[in-house]
Amino acid sequence: MLRAPDLRLVGLTFEDWRFDRPFLRSFPDTRRACFYHVKRGAAWFRTGPAADELHHVTQGMAIGVEGHSHEWMDRSHVHISDIRRVVDDIAADHDMPVEILASSIDRSAAVLQRLPHGAIIIPANASPYSDMIHGCSALIDIERASGEEETGVTRRLAEIIMLQLVAYARARLLHGITQTNGFAHDEYILRAMTAFFVSPGEQWTVQSLAKAAGLSRAAFSERFTRAFGEPPLKTINRLRLQQASEMLLYTSASLSDIAAQIGFGSAAAFLRAFKRQFGKTPGEWRQSLRNEEIAG
């Protein structure tokens, strides 16, 4: 299992949705972080008006939404041109009935942060993450159907689901900035990296990463270096700076806030490291990215 001992799911709620006729559900509240798993059928999911903010979500897919307004709907609420753009067979209508496991937690406990468009979507074939989520979803159904008072099992299953969302989102980032994918199914490295991404602001050391992985310091360091081609802390620092670049684009957080959230000791240390990595100061980087978005 992927573990994050400090993870606490505050105000956890669960609902089972079943639709066999046209529906539209809007969620304007940004104070919640939501998780959805499509157990049967398919639906349309939207986080905004842009073309890449509309998705056809089919059986087995999962979605994590971090404090972002969004909508669920059937195809009757989607323009035909958007249906043609997103799906191959517009004549097929295999969406209904649709069954969805919907859960949410207070955003203060959210482990998904700074997501583009506020959401992450896990395809049904994205093993091992989708397999783990499917299994946890099925176990939650069994536990809730028993009618017994909550024993902590449902909450632990929800924690595992949240950590799978984190692991998937960050594995995609790792693929983008490393030369190898040998870590992708390495349980020990995924444990350590998930612990890091849940709490990037901690003062991580090789020893603490090894403890999260469940290995000795020497065994973890050797395994990590073999997978990534560089020592653990060098990769961690690059990942921190990559997270900082995302925060500069998607938030208005100050340099001090960003430095604290990603684990740098001070804004000055963060500024120096960022300029070494990207060749620009954080302020220059933020402005250049926003200029690109406006131009696009």
Does residue 1 form part of some domain? no
Residues 18 and 71 in one domain: yes
Does residue 3 form part of some domain? no
CB of 52 closer than 8 Å to CB of 79: no
Residues 32 and 135 in one domain: yes
User: What is the reported pLDDT for 113?
Assistant: 52
Residues 222 and 265 in one domain: no
Does residue 4 form part of some domain? no
Tokens of 228: 């990534």
Question: Is the pTM above the cut of 0.85?
Answer: no
**Ordered mean pLDDT values, 10 residues apiece, the chain (296 residues):** 45 86 90 87 91 90 86 93 82 80 74 61 86 86 71 74 73 55 64 75 90 92 86 87 78 82 84 91 83 60
Q: Which of 230, 247, 264 is the last residue of a domain?
A: 230
CATH of the domain at 85: 2.60.120.280
Q: Which of 173, 191, 215 is the last residue of a domain?
A: 173
Burial 95-119 (b: 16+ CB within 10 A, else e): bbebbbbbbbbebeebbbbbbebbb
Q: Which of 173, 198, 219 is the last residue of a domain?
A: 173
Residues 184 and 253 in one domain: no
Residues 74 and 110 in one domain: yes
How many CA atoms lie less than 13 Å away from 171 in the CB half-sphere? 23
Residues 157 and 209 in one domain: no
Cα→Cα distances 180→171, 176, 227, 258, Å: 12, 10, 7, 28
Residues 66 and 191 in one domain: no
User: What is the reported pLDDT for 9?
Assistant: 62
Domain that holds residue 257: 235-295
Does residue 8 form part of some domain? no
Count of structural domains, the chain: 3
Residues 291 and 214 in one domain: no
Does residue 7 form part of some domain? no
CATH of the domain at 266: 1.10.10.60
Residues 31 and 121 in one domain: yes
Residues 87 and 64 in one domain: yes
Residues 214 and 163 in one domain: no
Does residue 186 form part of some domain? yes
Residues 21 and 168 in one domain: yes
